[in-house]
Amino acid sequence: MNMLEKLKDLIVSSDQIQLAGISQFLPLNIDKIKKDLRLDEKAKENGSKQLPSSGSDDFDEVESAIINFIEAERARCLNEFNANLATYNQRLANLNIEARLTQVTLAAREAIGDFNEQIHQGQDDLTISRDDVKEHAAQFKNFRLENSLTRPAHYPQSKLLYSGIIALLFLAECLFNAFFLAVGNEFGLLGGVGEAFIISLVNIGLALFFGQKIMPLIWHNKIGRKLIGSALILLFFAGNFVFNLFVAHYRDALASAMSDQAAVLAVSSFVADFFNIADFKSWMMVGVGCFFALIALLDGFGMDDPYPKYGHWDRLRRRAYETYADKKATLLEDLRQTRDNASTSLAQLKDDLVKRRQEHDSIIANRTNLLVNFETHQNYLESCGRELITFYRARNRETRNTPSPKHFDRAWHLERKHSPVLPPTSLSNERLNDVMIEANATIQSAIKDVMDAFDQAITMIEQINAILSSKATDDVPT
């Protein structure tokens, strides 16, 4: 896992933080409770029976039912309180701010290490590419010195046009020859196409080869190679003319009565008198074949610089430099993107710690409010119980003929059997402040280190460019 993926994982984990709300305990519906417990009905019924007796000092069954209901409600709220408290405590544990600081510190260190490693790897690749440029530039320079070349190389940037001309020449000669060779061929025009394809391949193919490989020798600075090139070109013209004359003899033989032996007749006729061509159309084939061959020769010659190998060495040099330039641009873009992503991620981690601190304070406040709310709700439940008991006793007194029990005059109190206590926080405010200050300093230092490393990388690339611009790389395109 690389540096950016680790930082992103830390940031993603921070999204799971949720602000906890303050739990509120629901109020009771006193009127509904009165109906459910049939307080009015039971109070009158018991009062008419003089119950509870005047000397009783204990709660009767109706009062006990009210007290049990209130205590059950208090027990339910206590369970709700404990559940909410456990949720808050778990969220506090999940925040784990001190451990988060350790994670952020390690992530920041790894971010710097991985970024420096990326820089060194890019430096190595760029140095290799730079040395390749220097080597090709030196070879190119030596080639120019050895061949006394002072002009730049001239050749088309794209061979598409020249290749298209060759294709058109080949197709045109095939169709032309197929039309003339179809005469006397047992397969007609289809047979003529097959023979025309072979003839055009030889005619155009040889012309293209001589144009690319042989004709440039004429421009060589060494006399010997000039003479060889000139002789071979003259030989090509002669050979091409002879080849097309033989094709014309073959066409005449196809038009004769013995077309099934056209090849034998063509050889005999050619050896006997190679200028003895009877049909004017056959002479047209000679002219068209020689003309197309001349065009193909010039087209092949125009595909590269006139001087032999000059265009080849110039392309190698330029290709090496373009590779270097592409690697440099890619490296700069990758480093810039890594720098920006790392800085953004580190800043987000800082914001994450701030959120965790805010969440910590919010949970502590919510826990305190939860306890206050529970204590307040217990008082509320006590008042509700008193209201219900007072209602029952008042209705009971209205129907009694005997004095009411003395305990009817005593107020009821809800016994606090379980007094909740909030657990202590694991981190004091002072420690939290220290953690935040340390985290902020760590992240700011990491961001600065990333920026400094990027600046050093730019300096390194400029130094490589300076070396590349030395005398050893003379004539490198810029």
Q: Which residue has the tokens 């906890």?
A: 20
Cα–Cα distance for residue pair 261/330, rounded to 1 Å: 67
Q: Which residues contact 206 (CB under 8 A, 6 or more apart)?
A: 236, 239, 240, 293
Q: 181-224, pLDDT tens digit by residue?
A: 665 555 455 556 777 788 888 989 999 999 999 999 999 989 99
Q: Evaluate if residue 34 carries a pLDDT over 60.
A: yes
* pLDDT (mean) for 348-377: 87
| Arithmetic mean of pLDDT over the chain | 82
**What is the model's pLDDT at position 419?**
63
**What is the model's pLDDT at position 144?**
92
Cα–Cα distance for residue pair 316/139, rounded to 1 Å: 10
CB contact at 8 A, 153 and 310: yes
Q: Evaluate if residue 78 carries a pLDDT over 80.
A: yes
CB contact at 8 A, 308 and 216: yes
**What is the model's pLDDT at position 28?**
94
Cα–Cα distance for residue pair 401/224, rounded to 1 Å: 150
Cα–Cα distance for residue pair 450/111, rounded to 1 Å: 8
Binning pLDDT at 50, 70 and 90, where does residue 422 land?
confident
Q: Which two tokens stand for residue 206?
A: 């040889």
**What is the model's pLDDT at position 193?**
72
Please state, for a pLDDT cut of 90, what percent of the chain lies above it: 30
User: Is-cis flag, bond preceding 52, omega within 30?
Assistant: yes
Binning pLDDT at 50, 70 and 90, where does residue 11 land?
low
Cα–Cα distance for residue pair 435/105, rounded to 1 Å: 11
**What is the model's pLDDT at position 27?**
92
Q: Which residues contact 16 (CB under 8 A, 6 or more apart)?
A: 94
**What is the model's pLDDT at position 273?**
73
Q: Evaluate if residue 477 carries a pLDDT over 50.
A: no
The residue among 68 and 331 whose pLDDT is bigger is 68
**What is the model's pLDDT at position 20?**
45
Cα–Cα distance for residue pair 25/11, rounded to 1 Å: 36
Cα–Cα distance for residue pair 381/76, rounded to 1 Å: 12
H-type alpha helices, 256-302: 262-272, 280-301
For the purposes of burial, counting CB atoms within 10 Å of the CB of 287, is it exposed (0-12), middle (13-18) or buried (19 or more)?
A: exposed
Q: 93-143, pLDDT tens digit by residue?
A: 888 777 777 777 777 777 778 878 888 888 888 888 888 988 998 999 999
CB contact at 8 A, 240 and 297: no
**What is the model's pLDDT at position 29?**
94
Cα–Cα distance for residue pair 164/103, rounded to 1 Å: 64
CB contact at 8 A, 255 and 279: yes
* pLDDT (mean) for 11-25: 54
**What is the model's pLDDT at position 347?**
82
CB contact at 8 A, 269 and 179: no
